[in-house]
Structure 1
Amino acid sequence: MAVIRPIAAQDYEVWAVLFGGYAAFYQVQQSAQMRETVWSWLHDPAHELSGLIAFDAGGTAVGLAHYRPFARPLSATIGGWLDDLFVDPGARGEAIGKQLIAAVAAIGRERGWSVIRWLTAEDNYRARSSYDKIASKTKFLTYDLAL
């Protein structure tokens, strides 16, 4: 069982490695400035983004989750959006991702959120296999309009 807690100021180095691994997994070029921006959001009480970090029994950081609230006008509720979920490849298969999702869900329940929602790449079969066991796949497609 992983130890999961909110990301703290002393976690920058291990968080940066995990976040860099997440970017590499999705083949996204990420600069140090981009990481600094996200890090600043995570520590700005006025910003909506929050984060969790997971440690294995030996104290090694093995996963992260970034999440935030979002308005759901059709249901007149607030939901939780799981923006980023990453588990170090060496720790996969140990249910770290499920534990991080459960931790975000617990936060959502405490805050009265109606749902936790996330997306993943269509070809992320390993993760999808896990997600299919704990959540319902929606019928919606995602579109981006670059600005």
Structure 2
Amino acid sequence: MTITITTFTAKDRDDWLALWEAYLVFYKATLPPNVGHQTWERMIDPEGEIQGFKAVDANGVMVGMVTYLYHGTTWGPHPRCYLHDLYTLAETRGQGVGRALIEAVYEAAAADGSDQVYWLTQEFNYAGRMLYDKVAERTPFIKYAHKV
């Protein structure tokens, strides 16, 4: 599959929102609609903390998306890159779209002075984990969360 990875533009809003909503369904998550709209606005804001890339096929169809952000760490002088959201259309999985999006984040992070890219996934995401095992090292960390 021939794909092109680029940053988002304002005209990508509806296509990105469709992928965002499919991503939420995949993870069995329910969020108020304004969260997706706010995420989009923060991502396309040149001063925003969220960044992203889209994957477009040869026909110009958006087939995948990734979002990421940087944060400081007490474990070193360089910022870390958190790959936050990654989603590809089901019919394109296994064709290199996810890998290309991850590699685009790797390149951006290196160019921006980050020393690490990391992410989380759910246990049931077997297809994703098969890819992740090829492009990164699985760590032994367990996530804890508390809503405030």
How would you bin the TM-score normalised by the shorter chain?
over 0.9
Range moving further from structure 2, 96-105 or 26-35: 26-35
Kindly report which structure 2 residues correspond to 1:1-147, keeping only aligned pairs within 5 A, or say none: 1-147=2-148
User: d(CA) in 1 for partners of 2:76 and 2:123?
Assistant: 27
Which ranges of structure 1 fall in alignment gaps of 5 or more residues? Answer: none
TM-score by length of 2: 0.95
Deviations 1:39-79 (A, max 9, x none): 11112233210111110111111000000111121122211
1:34 Cα deviation from its structure 2 partner: 1.4
Counterpart of 1:70, as a letter, is H
User: d(CA) in 2 for partners of 1:79 and 1:16?
Assistant: 26
User: d(CA) in 2 for partners of 1:16 and 1:143?
Assistant: 28
SS at match of 1:74: coil
User: d(CA) in 2 for partners of 1:129 and 1:93?
Assistant: 10
User: d(CA) in 2 for partners of 1:9 and 1:46?
Assistant: 15
CA contact (8 A) 1:66 1:85 kept: yes
User: d(CA) in 1 for partners of 2:44 and 2:63?
Assistant: 20
Count of residues in Structure 1 that have an aligned counterpart in Structure 2: 147
SS at match of 2:37: helix
Deviations 1:7-55 (A, max 9, x none): 1100011001000010111111133211111111112233210111110
Deviations 1:90-144 (A, max 9, x none): 1111110000000000001111110110010011111101100110001111111
Which ranges of structure 2 fall in alignment gaps of 5 or more residues? Answer: none
SS at match of 2:141: coil
- Aligned-pair identity in percent equals 31
CA contact (8 A) 1:79 1:115 kept: yes
User: d(CA) in 1 for partners of 2:43 and 2:77?
Assistant: 26
SS at match of 1:11: helix
Counterpart of 2:15, as a letter, is V
